[in-house]
Amino acid sequence: MTTFLYTTAIVAGLEFGLGLLLFLLPRAGPPGRALSEAAARAPLLDLVVAVMTWIPWLAAGLADGWRGFSGAVAGQLLAMYIWILGHETIHRRAARGPRLYKTHARLVGRWRNLTALWFSVLGVPLLWAIRLVELLFYPPLCWLVGFPSYRQGEWVNVSRQKFQGLVGHDLIWCLYCDWMTGIYALGGEMLRNIESFWCPIRFYDEKKCANCRVEFPDIDGGWVSAQGTMADVQETVLRFYADGRREWFGHPARLTIEGRRAEEHVKDQPG
């Protein structure tokens, strides 16, 4: 029990200290603002979120098993609620005004809303798995087959801390959504390249096509009909990729004048 309490106190202190530092940085002049902006986007954001999530779990778990892991989680929760209380106290006027959590509580009930929010936290390990794929496994594909690389900080970043009136509880959960949305969107962008390059064939299940066309626009923008032939598939791959481009078919880069000219050049080639 003593070890559990020590772990809780240490993790709570570290997490609250990091949260306080991030809160104060934008107020520390140009150098502080520059560092704050860097910490709000990948790759530095990856480190910040790792310290806020899995690094304490791993370190404490290795040190003291399940008691260490539980103490780390308890410390994170304690630090979060102390930070929420402090932030709402500092921004008292905004805290008394319109709030997301009050609105959601009115719609579905306070405890149902809070329970649902905490269920969403179970997605953190999965989101980190997706993030590791983006960091470790997609880049080799860029080198091997020429897929486009990305400035990942343009996708994986947080900015809702700048929204006026978003404080405390609301801010914490909106930053979580901010982070997860960027990871999901970047993963989808990478998967569009993979799917259109290797498997540009519509699904036989039209319901699946309808469900997936938002995330994969090439379903209706170039993929071969499920009733087509492998000759059609070969022609499609050559038409879109023989010039060395590797973006998915409907990628904005292909809609430029240069992109259209390159595509037309491939179409005009014999064979």
pLDDT in tens, 148-197: 999 999 999 999 999 999 999 999 999 999 999 999 999 999 999 999 99
Question: Could you tell me the two tokens for 71?
Answer: 């103490």
Closest CA to 47 of 151, 191, 150, 153: 153
Helix (H) / strand (E) containing 224: none
Which amino acid is it at 206?
E
Q: Is the pLDDT of residue 254 over 50?
A: yes
Which amino acid is it at 40?
A
Domain limits, the chain = 1-90, 106-198, 201-268
pLDDT for the residue 270: 46
Q: Give the whole-number percent of the chain exceeding pLDDT 90.
A: 90
Indicate if the alpha-carbon torsion angle 121, 67, 79, 31 is positive or negative: negative
Q: Is the pLDDT of residue 99 over 60?
A: yes
pLDDT for the residue 263: 47
pLDDT tens digits along 195-228: 999 999 999 999 999 999 999 999 999 999 999 9
Give strand pairing partners of 41.
Answer: 157
Whether the Cβ atoms of residue 14 and residue 56 lie closer than 8 Å to each other:
yes
- Mean pLDDT within 53-64: 95
Q: CA 243, CA 146: separation in Å to the nearest integer?
A: 11
Give the relative orientation of helices 2-24 and 44-52 as an angle to the nearest 10 degrees: 150
For 238, phi and psi rounded to 5 degrees?
-65, -40
pTM of the model: 0.87
> 3-class DSSP state for residue 201?
strand
Q: Is the pLDDT of residue 266 over 50?
A: no
Closest CA to 82 of 156, 8, 143, 142: 8
Q: Is the pLDDT of residue 261 over 70?
A: no
Query: With bands split at pLDDT 50, 70 and 90, how would you rate the model's confidence at 255?
Result: low
Closest CA to 236 of 210, 198, 204: 198
- Mean pLDDT within 55-60: 96
pLDDT for the residue 222: 94
pLDDT for the residue 253: 82
CA distances, 239 to each of 32, 73, 249, 264 (Å): 50, 53, 10, 9
Whether the Cβ atoms of residue 180 and residue 96 lie closer than 8 Å to each other:
no
| Angle, CA 222 vertex, CA 146 and CA 215 arms, to 5° | 75
Residue linked to tokens 């299940």 = 205
Q: CA 92, CA 113: separation in Å to the nearest integer?
A: 23
- Mean pLDDT within 130-147: 96
Helix (H) / strand (E) containing 119: helix 110-120
> 3-class DSSP state for residue 102?
helix
Q: Is the pLDDT of residue 259 over 50?
A: no
pLDDT for the residue 3: 84
Query: With bands split at pLDDT 50, 70 and 90, how would you rate the model's confidence at 256?
Result: low
Question: Could you tell me the two tokens for 138?
Answer: 């997609």
Q: What is the number of H-type helices and E-type strands within the chain?
A: 13, 0
pLDDT for the residue 264: 52
Q: Is the pLDDT of residue 257 over 80?
A: no
Which amino acid is it at 270?
P
